[in-house]
């Protein structure tokens, strides 16, 4: 079969497997993004609240039913879904009604939390805008599910395209696509949150880096990097800042390394670094002009349990103390179950076989650690904040396996050596 057929087949298999969990993937933050999307569609506050609460409570009821079915003491009891859904709706409506009566009616999100907390989500229109056509055409339940499938499939396809741009054999490029689906990045991307779009846009920027480093379509490569960074600003402006900062830093390190070896830094490296630095500057400027929530506000949100307690008088001192505690505990857990650490090591080993590209890939993956460091909360489900780091094994492991496969698979002969040199 042709490569595109294999790509589509893998995507189709992944989509079919996701039918096992159409509901029950949401998190508390999902309500904010979904109500934002419904508001953009023109729904009133109460209509958006009703649809959002029904979706969230249906998910909780579904999980309750699945848990009971495998509970050795309660599996024979009556279906708990009606009771769970009713209690959930009553609880959620009490919260919303109280804030609506208090006059918290502004913005696009349903007021389930304090106004300061909701401002954080009001500053993230990217995911609600992405979600909007899906929930409009397919309804809330299937629309949210289809949006997750679409963004995750796009991420897998981008992983394939990055590897093929680097002239990696088709079977290994397909391996990268499959790794994106089966590793935690695929699971996280399927959840109705910003992380799926963040991963996909980060991969788009990495693809742009690969195009530039291969000497192909300079304009397309720059457009991909710039477009991805601009879109990231709308999805989650801190991610645009982190990715721009990491790309600029990686470009500077690569240029210095080449200079020490008596080589020019390379136009493509400078272009990528310049794009990253430009993103840092305009992200900071736009965030200030639009008065988006600052880092200090984020720290207060963290330390006051989403502004449910008084602001901390010395937030940064407490934040840095918590930061140290977090990473000690995080490392202890990783050494207990070292799959993540081993995957990162293998991915870095493979990535550095192409030093220039590998440097930018490691930089993009490092945004996961920066995001986690910005919110050192060990209770966050599934390590979803650090998930961009999984892009390193997604692309690095196929690069690590390339020498073993290269001799067994026919590779494009014309220009392969030149293109390989350009990313070294």
Q: How far is CA 13 from the centre of its chain?
A: 22
Query: Which helix or strand (DSSP H or E) is residue 45 part of?
Result: helix 45-69
Is 55 part of a structural domain of the chain?
Answer: no
Rounded to a whole number of angstroms, the CA Rg of the chain reads 23
What integer pLDDT is reported at residue 104 of this predicted model?
83
What integer pLDDT is reported at residue 347 of this predicted model?
97
Number of domains present in the structure of the chain? 1
Number of residues written out for the chain: 424
pLDDT tens over the chain, length 424 residues: 788 999 999 999 999 999 999 998 988 899 999 999 999 999 999 999 999 999 999 999 999 999 999 989 888 999 999 999 999 999 999 999 998 888 888 889 988 888 888 889 999 999 999 999 999 999 999 999 999 999 999 999 999 999 999 999 999 999 999 999 999 999 999 999 999 999 999 999 999 999 999 887 888 999 999 999 999 999 999 999 999 999 999 999 999 999 999 899 889 999 999 999 999 999 999 999 998 988 889 999 889 888 888 999 999 999 999 999 999 999 999 999 999 999 999 999 999 999 999 999 999 999 999 999 999 988 876 578 999 999 999 999 999 998 887 766 544 433 444 444 444 4
Decide if 136 contacts 144 (C-beta within 8 A). no
User: What token pair was written down for 290?
Assistant: 């639009």
- Find where tokens 């209770």 sit: 379
DSSP assignment letter at 313: S
Return the closest-CA partner of residue 173 out of 4, 342, 14, 13.
4
- CA-CA-CA-CA torsion sign (155, 218, 237, 95): negative
CA distances to 302, 306, 369, 373 from 325, in Å: 15, 20, 15, 11
Is 255 part of a structural domain of the chain?
Answer: yes
Angle at the Cα of 243 (from 122 to 362), degrees rounded to 5?
140
Decide if 233 contacts 283 (C-beta within 8 A). yes
Dist CA 390 CA 395 (whole Å): 9
Helices 295-303/315-336 angle, 10° precision: 70
Return the closest-CA partner of residue 152 out of 144, 141, 140.
144
Is 169 part of a structural domain of the chain?
Answer: yes
Return the closest-CA partner of residue 192 out of 313, 90, 59.
59
What integer pLDDT is reported at residue 382 of this predicted model?
58
| pTM for the structure as a whole | 0.92
Burial (CB count <10 Å: 0-12, 13-18, 19+), residue 4: exposed
What integer pLDDT is reported at residue 415 of this predicted model?
42
Dist CA 211 CA 228 (whole Å): 14
What integer pLDDT is reported at residue 383 of this predicted model?
78
What integer pLDDT is reported at residue 413 of this predicted model?
38
User: What token pair was written down for 424?
Assistant: 């070294």
Is 13 part of a structural domain of the chain?
Answer: no
Q: How far is CA 145 from the centre of its chain?
A: 16
Is 270 part of a structural domain of the chain?
Answer: yes
Is 27 part of a structural domain of the chain?
Answer: no
Is 23 part of a structural domain of the chain?
Answer: no
Backbone angles phi, psi at 43, to 5 degrees: -70, 145
Is 83 part of a structural domain of the chain?
Answer: no
Dist CA 84 CA 79 (whole Å): 10
Domain ranges, residue 154: 126-422
């Amino acid at each position: 079969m042709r490569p595109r057929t294999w790509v589509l087949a893998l995507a189709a298999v992944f989509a079919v497997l996701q039918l096992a969990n159409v509901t029950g993937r949401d998190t508390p933050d999902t309500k904010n993004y979904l109500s934002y999307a419904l508001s953009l569609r023109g729904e009133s506050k109460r209509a958006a609240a009703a649809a959002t609460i029904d979706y969230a409570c249906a998910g909780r009821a579904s999980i309750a039913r699945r848990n009971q079915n495998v509970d050795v003491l309660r599996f024979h009891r009556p279906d708990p879904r009606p009771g769970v859904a009713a209690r959930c709706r009553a609880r959620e409506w009490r919260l919303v009604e109280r804030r609506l009566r208090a006059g918290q009616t502004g913005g696009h999100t349903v007021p389930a939390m304090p106004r300061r907390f909701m401002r954080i989500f009001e500053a993230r229109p990217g995911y609600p805008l992405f979600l909007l056509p899906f929930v409009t055409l397919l309804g809330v339940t299937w629309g949210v599910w289809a949006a997750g499938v679409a963004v995750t499939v796009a991420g897998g396809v981008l992983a394939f395209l990055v590897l093929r741009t680097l002239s990696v054999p088709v079977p290994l490029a397909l391996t990268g696509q499959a790794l994106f689906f089966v590793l935690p990045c695929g699971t996280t991307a399927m959840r109705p949150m910003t992380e799926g779009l963040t991963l996909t846009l980060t991969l788009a920027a990495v693809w742009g880096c690969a195009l530039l480093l291969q000497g192909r379509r300079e304009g397309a490569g720059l457009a991909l990097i710039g477009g991805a960074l601009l879109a990231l600003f709308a999805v989650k402006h801190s991610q645009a800042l982190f990715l721009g900062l990491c790309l600029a830093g990686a470009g500077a390190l690569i240029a210095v390394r080449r200079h020490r070896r008596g080589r020019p830094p390379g136009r493509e490296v400078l272009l990528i670094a310049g794009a990253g630095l430009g993103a840092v500057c305009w992200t900071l400027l736009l965030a200030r002009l639009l008065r988006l929530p600052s880092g200090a506000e984020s720290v207060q949100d963290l330390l006051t349990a989403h502004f449910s307690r008084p602001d901390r008088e010395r937030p940064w001192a407490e934040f840095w103390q918590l930061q140290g505690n977090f990473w000690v505990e995080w490392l202890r857990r990783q050494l207990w179950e070292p799959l993540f650490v081993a995957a990162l090591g293998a991915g870095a080993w493979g990535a550095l076989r192409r030093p220039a590209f590998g440097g930018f890939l490691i930089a993009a993956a490092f945004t996961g650690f920066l995001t986690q460091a910005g919110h050192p909360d060990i209770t966050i489900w599934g390590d979803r904040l650090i998930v961009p780091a999984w892009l390193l094994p997604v692309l690095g492991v196929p690069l690590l396996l390339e020498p073993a496969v290269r001799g067994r698979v026919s590779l494009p002969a014309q220009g392969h050596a030149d293109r390989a040199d350009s990313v070294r």
